[in-house]
Structure 1
Amino acid sequence: MPPPPTCLVVFHFPGPAWVSGLRMFEQPGLQAHVDYYRALLESGQLGAGGPFLDGDGGGMMIARPGMPLDELVAFAENDPAVRSGLLRVAIRPWMPAMRAREGLG
């Protein structure tokens, strides 16, 4: 049996412009980040995404299998929240080796 296809995962972390003491959705510029990634979702290239809820800020997005790395890197680096310094970004390949038939949620 062939291995499952890999996905690219975009991790976001608070950047130098992150305002300590403000909750995530109060951060200036965060809505532009959400709107920016919504375009990736609507194009069918985003499988899932959302914030971490542990109080440290940041979140992750899982691209659909087959999205080219260079395309995702360019997209992630042009995120208005990354360009402004609100968020930092890292992209890692991930193999969803175990998953429910219905997916998440």
Structure 2
Amino acid sequence: MSYFAAILHMEKPELNQQYRQQHLDYLEQLGKQGKIFAKGPFVDGTGGMVIYSAETIEEATALAEADPYIQAGVRRLELHEWGMMK
């Protein structure tokens, strides 16, 4: 299992609240499946980050691109494999 950091850059702040609950529900569903390691907004309002737990970059990409924020263009996705240091 690998970790992938999805940085969700704010693109359309005027639509953020409209899609927020769908985004949170989506992440909650993935969390129950063990696909979310960590998540949260940036305190400066510029977006947020989700760290996915996935087998491949392709799986992580599919999970991240299915987020309602990304689907609606509210946020722009930047995805990187994360080498967590313990």
Superposition RMSD on alpha carbons, in Å?
2.0
How many residues end up aligned between the 2 structures? 86
**Structure with bigger gyration radius:** 1
CA spacing shift, 1:74–1:6, aligned 2, 3 Å: closer
User: Identity over the aligned pairs, expressed in percent?
Assistant: 31
CA displacement at 1:72 relative to structure 2: 1.4
Q: Deviations over 1:8-46 (max 9, x none)?
A: 11110112x321xx9x6xx21111111111111110111
4+ long deviations beyond 3 Å: none
C-alpha deviations, 1:60-94, integer Å up to 9, x for none?
11123x53211111121121211111111111011
Does 1:50 find its partner at 2:45? no
How does the TM-score come out when normalised to structure 1? 0.70
> TM-score, normalised on structure 2?
0.84
In terms of fraction of residues, the more helix-rich structure is: 2
Distance 1:39 1:67, change over 3 A: farther
Name the counterpart of 1:93.
81
**Cα distance between partner residues in 1 of 2:69 and 2:84:** 28
What are the ranges of 5 or more consecutive residues in structure 2 without an aligned counterpart? none
Contact 2:2 2:56 in 1 (8 A): no
Query: Which residue of 2 is the match for residue 73 of structure 1?
Result: 61
Q: Of Structure 1 and Structure 2, which has the larger fraction of its residues in strand?
A: 2
